[in-house]
Every structure is written in C-alpha cells, then in structure tokens.
Structure 1
Amino acid sequence: MREEPQAASYRADTPIAALADWLGDPVAPADFPQTVLRFRNDRAAAQVGLDGLDEDQWLRHFGRFAPLADNLPQPLALRYHGHQFRVYNPEIGDGRGFLFAQLRDASGRLMDLGTKGSGQTPWSRAGDGRLTLKGAVREILATEMLEALGVYTSRTFSVIETGEELQRHDEPSPTRSAVLVRLNHGHIRIGTFQRLLALEDQDHMAALVDYCLAQFPGPPPPEDAPGRDEPAVRLMHHVVERMADLAASYMIAGFVHGVLNTDNMNVSGESFDYGPWRFLPRWDPGFTAAYFDHSGLYAFGRQPEALHWNCGQLAVALRLLVDAPPLIAALERFGDLYMAAVGRRWCWRLGVASRGVEADTALVAACEKALLESGEAPDVFFHRHRGGRAAEGALAEALASYQASDSDRHPYWRDPAPQSMLIDEVEALWAAIDRKDDWRPLEDKIAAIRRMGEAHGTPPAPAGHPGG
C-alpha cells in the first residue's frame, strides 16, 4: 500500500529571500472580481500544516494572496531564460505566476507554493497573466493521475474561480477564469541557470548551485566520477539522476507532457506546469500532445531524448563554473540510469518484483511488443496483467520467472476496468462543469484516481531522490 506522507505543523522558511534581489521581481497579485473555491487539496495541505485553514482564510491566502505568517512579504516573479522547442528565448520568466510562499513539510523538505493565473508580471509580454478554469481543471486531473501512477509531480493545491471572462484562441471564448496554486519541491529551472550563463554572472551561478545542493540534496556522485567534489559537478549528477527517473516515469505512465522546454525543467526532478498534456490511447512512440508540436519534438517516444538534451543545456550553463569533462561524464550516465529506472518502474506498475536491469529490460521489450501488436491502451494492459496474470505466448515466457508483489491484493485490481485519463473523459468532465456547473463528476474522478494510487503502492525511486 502507498505510504501516506506525514501531517505537519505549519513551518515557514524562506531561504530564497537571500537570492531574491537577482532571482526575481516583487509583484502584486491581480485583484479579481470574485473568489469562489472550487478545489482544495487537504491531503497536500496537511503535509505543510495548512489543512486547518477555514474557507475564508483559504480564499484570503490563495485567492487574494495575503501573505502567510512569517513568510514572503510579497510574491516573487522568478527570472529565467529557456530553450522553447530548441529555440533560445531570453525574454521569458514568470509571466502569469509567482512564488508565493516557502515552508517545510514533516520530513524537513523545503516546499514552494507557486501560482498560475495570478496576474501580470514584468515577464507577461502580451499575455493577460490569467488562467482559464478549464486549464485549471486539466491541471488537477494531470497532477492527480500522475501522482497515482508514481510520477514525481507537483500537486495542485488550490483552484479558485475568479469571475473574469477570458478570450482564448484555442478554446471557445469568452471562457471562465481561475487562479491555481501548486505545491512544488522548488521552482529552480534549468532555464534559471541558462539566464545566469547569458549574463556571465559567475558569482550568482555559484550561489544558485549552493542553494540547490542545500535545498534539494542527493547522494554523492560515483566514486570514480571526475571532479566529484566540485559543487557544480555534484549538482549535475543529481539532476541527471532525477531527469532519467522522470523520463522513465513518463513512459511507464503512458504520459506525454507536451512542452518539455528547459524553462519547464525543475532541477529537483519534479514534473510541473501542465498545458497540452495527454495520456496514450495506445502504445505509440510518435503520439504528440501539443497541436503546435508539428515536428513531433516532444512526442511520447522522444521524451527521454528531450530530457537528456535539457540536461545537456544545464551542463553548458555550468561550464561558467567548471571545465566541461566532469560535466560530460555526469551527462553520459543518463542512458544507463534511464534504462534502470524504466525496468524498476515497469515492474512496479506491473506488480512484479524487479530482477535486475538485464532481466527487466527483456521484460519491458516483451511487454512493448505485446502492446504494439494488440493496440491495447497501456492502462488496460497493466491492469489486465497485474501480478503477471493473463499473459500468453512470449509475454508469458518473459513473466515466468517473475514473482507477483504483495501490492496486487487491493480490490482495485479486481475492478472490471482500470482508471484512465483519455481526452474524451477529460472533455466530458469539463463539459459537466462548463454546461451545468456540476463538479460532482470531477470530485468522483479524483476519488477514483486516489484509490488507484493506493492500489499501486509507493513508487520506486533512486537513492536520495527528493521525492522519497
């Protein structure tokens, strides 16, 4: 069974304040016409001691953004650059969001409360700084589903409808508006380092490396890793390990993020910022999520390549502090780390005990072959074969030496069909809200997804993973 994170008392801690002068810009939140609470994640709130807020307090802090006690006195719109579909853009930053607060969870991890749709900032460019209610609902669904499937993801903490009519070119307009708050283990992006490289700001680059090592600690690099005592090299190893695991978790979840730009890559290894995401209707390496991804750069099967490439951009940025060879050595670990993570996570979702990289790789290959030949949805495949059951032919041979784990005892595995999150269901959940203001189907779906997460149990993760 999944281990529930411990409840915590509220404990503000704002180490980012020491970097604030050069890392971001103080901003004011939008003054919304109304604040109507639509979603509050009390499970996540309990982990940071905020589940005791009443509705008025919740609306004041997460709709009007009154500062939390002893926390950041003013929101901070973070500065960064980034490669967007491999094109470098120095004109970006938090354009419709900000860092609102920092606090510790029960295990002492630093957690950030950040926003989406909270108003214009110096980085909004031509944007209105707002978020559609549909976009907020989609982010709830993405984060809940990914967490249940073992992906290290941000949690949607709060969604408040704000009473504005928004114009959008990619959905029927005018459309309803919302402000979203997410709970993240940090908001330091690869693009944050890219900005400091562009500015040739060596001192602040070193300070940012120190901040990340302190707040997102990981295991030491391998004993034979060159330059392993250099802070920038240690950070590079941590990020490569985390991104390899994140890439594997996307693949096992059958998930396509859609916009894997370097400004969307959190160095804590945590997935966040969900826009045009999709889950696979069938196993298709060429499946894309974003209608504007004309070349398939971020297609399902190319996501590991994308995360590896993004790690390469971090290595380029860190050359401001150290020579290239030890950074390249860290980057070259990605492939082996990814394959190990794929096997480990595949066995977890299938409900069998891992037998090591070589055997697990052969099992994954047999499963992929079966998925491609059958055209079966990944959710159906993993549910039908949970614990090694119902396998035939070559798949049965591959599974013969695997033992079922104890986690297949949950009654979820006896349900006639698995939970899934295909686009038709997403649209149906939104239609109930949009047409009838009926939130019950969404609430029921969240409950069903969380039950699925309980059935899967605690996901595997490499040693020292910050999500552990």
Structure 2
Amino acid sequence: MSSPSPAYSPSTAHLDLGDGFFDPVEAAHFPAHTLRYRNQRWAERIGLGGLTDDQWIAHFGRFQPLPENIPQPVALRYHGHQFRSYNPEIGDGRGFLFAQARDGEGRLLDLATKGSGQTPYSRFGDGRLTLKGGVREVLATAMLEAFGVYTSKSFSLIETGEALQRQDEPSPTRSSVLVRLSHSHVRFGTFQRLLAENDQARIAQLVGHCVRHYHPQAARGGDVALEAPALLEAVAKAAGAMVAEWMLAGFVHGVLNTDNMVVTGESFDYGPWRFLPHYEPGFTAAYFDQTGLYAYGRQPGAVAWNFERFAECLTLVAPVADLETALKTYGPAFNERLRRMATGRLGVMAKDEAADEELLAAFFQFLHHSKAPFERTIFDWHGGAGRRDFAIAGPSAAHYQGEAFDRFFAALAAHEPIGVTPEAEVYFSGPAPATLTIDEVEKLWAPIAEADDWSLFTAKLAHIDQARLAFGLHPAR
C-alpha cells in the first residue's frame, strides 16, 4: 500500500489481549489469485478504497500486512455449543484475524478471513473455502445489509486455483478465500473457553476489552463486578435487535451455535442459510438440522439460549443476581426492534406501540394464512395502503383477500407512509423485488460453474444494491 488514505486508521487492539487468546499462523500459499469481488463502498469507509487490484490481492489474497497493522495473522481461540453440545475442540480452523481499523465513527472493525488455510484448530479440515461458499456469503451479506440487518460485510472474494473435495457439492470444486469486515470477532465461545478453564483473570480482562472497544456505555470505572452486568445488558439489547432484524428479513441463519454469536450483536458466519420463500415457522436452512433446532420460528429462542450461556461465563466475575437482571433485557429489546423493523420494512411511520404491535401481528397472521411470497408482500405494500392499486395489479393479487388480509390492510391504513426517495421510487415501481431463494442462488451459480459467466451474479448484486438504497434502513447500533 503505497500511500494510505487519510481515512485509514489502523489498529492492533486485539493483540493487547495477549497470546492466551490467539495463536500466530501463516496464510496458505495459493496457486492463483483471481479477484472476483471487492467491496469498494466499505473499502472507502475504512480508507482502503484507493488500492489497485494488484495491491488488493497482495493484502487480501497473499495477506501481506497492512501498514502499521497486525504484523502476522492470528487464529482466535474459542469453544462453543454446537447444536447444544459443548465442543472444546474448535477455534479458527480455516480463518484468522489479520488487520483492524477504525471507521469514520471511530468504531473498531476487524478484517478476518474464511478459507485462508490450516491453523492449530483445523482438526482434519483443509482450511479452504469453496468458491460457491464464498459467492453465497457475498450474496447473503449484501441482502441482509439491504434489509437493515446488522451484519458482517463481505469485503473481498478471491478465487485461488485449487480443486477441493466436498461432500455437500459436486467435486472437485473451485476454491476461494473470503475476507470479512466485522465489528468484532469476540464470540460467546471466546468467553466459554475461559469459563471451561476457570480463568477468572482473563474473563475480567476480556470484559474490560469489550467494554472499552465495543460497549463503552457499560464502563463503570474498571470495576469488573459492575461492568460485567452492564456489558451483559448491552449484549442482550444488541442480540435481541439482531434476531428481530432476521425475522423481518425472512432470514434463517442455519447454524446458531454459540461460536457464531459475537458480543456486538452482529450477524455473521454464513454457511447454510436461506431466505423464506413464504412464511413458514418450521423452515430450516441446514440439511443436517433434522430436529429443526434452528428453524426460522425458533431463532429468537435459540439466540436467547446462547445468550444465557454467555451470561454463565460472567458468573466468575459478577454477582448472579445482577446478571439475572441484565438477562431480562433481551426480550424487550427483541420486541422493540421487531416493531421498528416492521414499520421500516413496510415503509410506514412508526405510530404508537399498540398500532405498531397490531401491524406486526396482522402482517405475520396474513403471511401465515395466505402463504403469500414473503418479500413480494413487503414490496407490494411498501408505503402502506396507498399501494393497493399497484399490489392488486401484480402477480400476488390473488393472495390479497380474506379476513387475514383485511386485518393487515386496516393496520397498514392506520399508518402514514414514509417519504419517498428517488431511489425508492425507482425500485418500488419496478417489476419485482430483490429476492434470494435457494433456487435463485443455484440459477446464478450454474453459469459460473459451467462457463465462468458472472453476469447473473453481478446483476443480482446490482438489484440488491437498488433495494438497499430504496429501503434506506440502518441498524440501531
């Protein structure tokens, strides 16, 4: 990087925790580096937008250190509950943290990888990521950001020229390395490892680190017995808001293990995921989730269970009664964000709690009874009851009748529309919403796999970005 932008503000804050939290590792040496995706918008926000493609590949494909940044990648240590079975044998197995930076708001952000090679925690894995897996994560994060979900950002995707063997897709298959931009990689499982080792001192240290860098509102003068419950409350509010955002995005994460939950309440780590074709509480994303533990309708409870495991870790440093009080903030935070997301996604102004609750209930009742397409319903009725002529002229018109619809329409009519931006005018007068069902993902992957044709992928990302600008939604944190 020849001349860093003035917006580039490097950090090595995670290294301050010391080597008890991570292990230095080497990046894999790949036979090829073909840049497939760079997130220019977010690169500009952290001062890296001026990199040439060659410089980009040097930093995000070969992992040459960024200026004044982490000198060597580190694989992070953590444990976790996987489908509610505790596993002490995990950690960063095919990724590492290799840089940190602060954005224009002063927030600490991480640049970390997926598919960058083996680490001490790889077990028997090859440490690689399939190109299809990288494409899927780019799509998922773009869509979630467009719908107002606080999510990690897919920062870079580079094809790496290896042939991988996988059981869940045709093999050999192409390889890639992904770089994520995330607010934090301190997981619930980071704390769980320290609890398992009864390491009170490091839990206290980690609490202080999280308060200092992620939740400064929880600061209590360095008194960990006071800061731990305050941190727990902050994480409760963030986690509750995150899962509420998923529900109004019609999103199913798929693998809600404690090692996939971070203290900032940021959605990340997209392996199996799905967007709902239509409302279905039992809809699952992972073929191996045979009991439906992480089904769409069970996500709020799954996150709550994970959050309780995080709270258990803090019992080493704080009174249980204070932690129990903080735990109770999760439900109200979830409900509040659910109401806000309902009005935001439907393009109407929040009114009062009773009216917003009625809109939320009527919306889901209508989707349940009608089986109308989830995202098409939002698209048709964005802006409220005044969209009736548009909605009944569209492909879902047959769904818009009956008692459940009448209740939904009445609830919409009780709300005022938000102001219409030029971007919203273009998007919501278009022929169809941006959607990302599994069939659509397979359809755009096929020409990449067969002919290295990326045109459908590029067009999908452009449509998703139209949706982002049209909805204009921003996470609450």
TM class by shorter-chain length? over 0.9
8 Å CA contact 2:224, 2:317 repeated in 1: no
Task: Specify the alignment match of 2:336 in structure 1.
Answer: 340
Q: 1:60·1:66 contact (CA, 8 Å) conserved in 2?
A: yes
Distance 1:153 1:207, change over 3 A: same
The one of 351, 357, 372 equivalent to 1:376 is 372
User: Which position in structure 2 is the counterpart of 1:298?
Assistant: 294
Secondary structure in 1 aligned to 2:68?
coil
In the TM superposition, 1:27-426 aligns within 5 A as 27-217=25-215, 219=217, 230-388=226-384, 389-390=387-388, 393-407=406-420, 409-426=424-441
Match of 2:23 among 25, 35, 48: 25
| TM-score computed with the length of structure 2 as normaliser | 0.92
Quote the Cα distance in structure 2 between the aligned partners of 1:312 and 1:348: 29
Structure 1: which 5+ runs fail to align?
Answer: 1-6, 222-226
SS at structure 1 position matched to 2:383: helix
1:358 CA drift (Å): 2.6
SS, match of residue 181 in structure 1: strand
| Rounded Cα–Cα distance in structure 1 between residues aligned with 2:185 and 2:36 | 25
Tell whether the 8 Å contact from 1:8 to 1:106 is kept in structure 2 after alignment: no
Q: 1:427 aligns with which of 438, 442, 453?
A: 442
- TM-aligned CA distance change 1:166 to 1:201, over 3 Å: same
Counterpart in the other structure of 1:451: 466
Structure 2 distance, partners of 1:253, 1:24, is: 34
- Which amino acid in 1 is paired with 2:372? E
Q: Equivalent residue for 1:224? A: none
Q: Letter of the aligned partner of 1:454 in structure 2?
A: L
**AA in 1 matched with 2:177:** V
Find the aligned partners of 2:74 and 2:153 in 1 and give their Cα distance. Answer: 20
User: Take 1:118 and 1:183, find their aligned partners in 2: how far apart are those partners?
Assistant: 15
* 129-138 vs 209-218, which moves further: 209-218
Contact (CA 8 Å) 1:260, 1:306: kept in 2 or not? yes
Quote how far apart the aligned CAs of 1:460 are.
5.2
Q: Which letter does structure 2 place at the counterpart of 1:369?
A: Q
Letter in 2 for 1:255: F
Match of residue 451 from structure 2 = 436
Other structure's SS at 2:10 match: coil
Corresponding letter in the other structure for 2:187 = R
SS in 2 for 1:156: strand
Contact 1:190–1:262 under 8 Å retained in 2: yes
Alpha-carbon distance, 1:357 to partner? 2.8
Q: TM-score with structure 1 length normalisation?
A: 0.94
Deviations, residues 43-89 of structure 1 (Å, cap 9, x unaligned): 11011111111111111111111111111110000000000000000
Secondary structure of the 2:474 match is coil
Does the Cα contact within 8 Å between 1:36 and 1:162 map onto a contact in 2?
A: yes
In structure 1, what is the Cα distance between the partners aligned to 2:69 and 2:224? 35
* Secondary structure at 1:180 match in 2: strand
Displaced runs of 4 or more, over 6 A = none
Q: Distance in 1 between matches of 2:455 and 2:71?
A: 37
Once structures 1 and 2 are overlaid, which stretch shifts more, 161-170 or 398-407? 398-407
Counterpart residue type for residue 297 of structure 1: L
CA contact (8 A) 1:419 1:448 kept: yes
Shift of 1:219: 4.1
Q: What secondary structure does 2:248 align onto?
A: helix
Q: Distance in 2 between matches of 1:417 and 1:61?
A: 38
Residues 175 and 347 of structure 1: CA distance in aligned 2, closer, same or farther (over 3 Å):
same
Instruction: Quote how far apart the aligned CAs of 1:108 are.
Output: 1.0
Structure-2 change in CA distance of 1:8 and 1:343 (3 Å): farther
Secondary structure of the residue aligned to 1:91 is coil
Deviations 1:202-233 (A, max 9, x none): 11111111111111125459xxxxx9981101
SS of the residue aligned with 1:351? Answer: coil
Does structure 2 retain, via aligned residues, the 8 Å contact 1:348–1:459? no
Verify the 8 A CA contact 2:10 2:100 in the aligned structure 1: yes
Greater relative contact order (CA < 8 Å, ≥ 6 in sequence): 1
Asked if 2 retains the 8 angstrom alpha-carbon contact of 1:190 and 1:314, the reply is yes
Give the deviation of 1:376 after TM superposition.
1.1
CA deviations on 1:237-260 (whole Å, 9 max, x unpaired) are 011000000010000000000001
Mapped to 1, the partners of 2:447 and 2:230 lie a distance apart of 49
What's the C-alpha RMSD, in Å, of the aligned pairs?
Answer: 1.6
Q: Which amino acid aligns with 2:473?
A: T
Worse-matched range after superposition: 15-24 or 95-104:
15-24
Partners in 2 of 1:71 and 1:407 — Cα distance? 43
Tell me which moved more, 381-390 or 67-76.
381-390
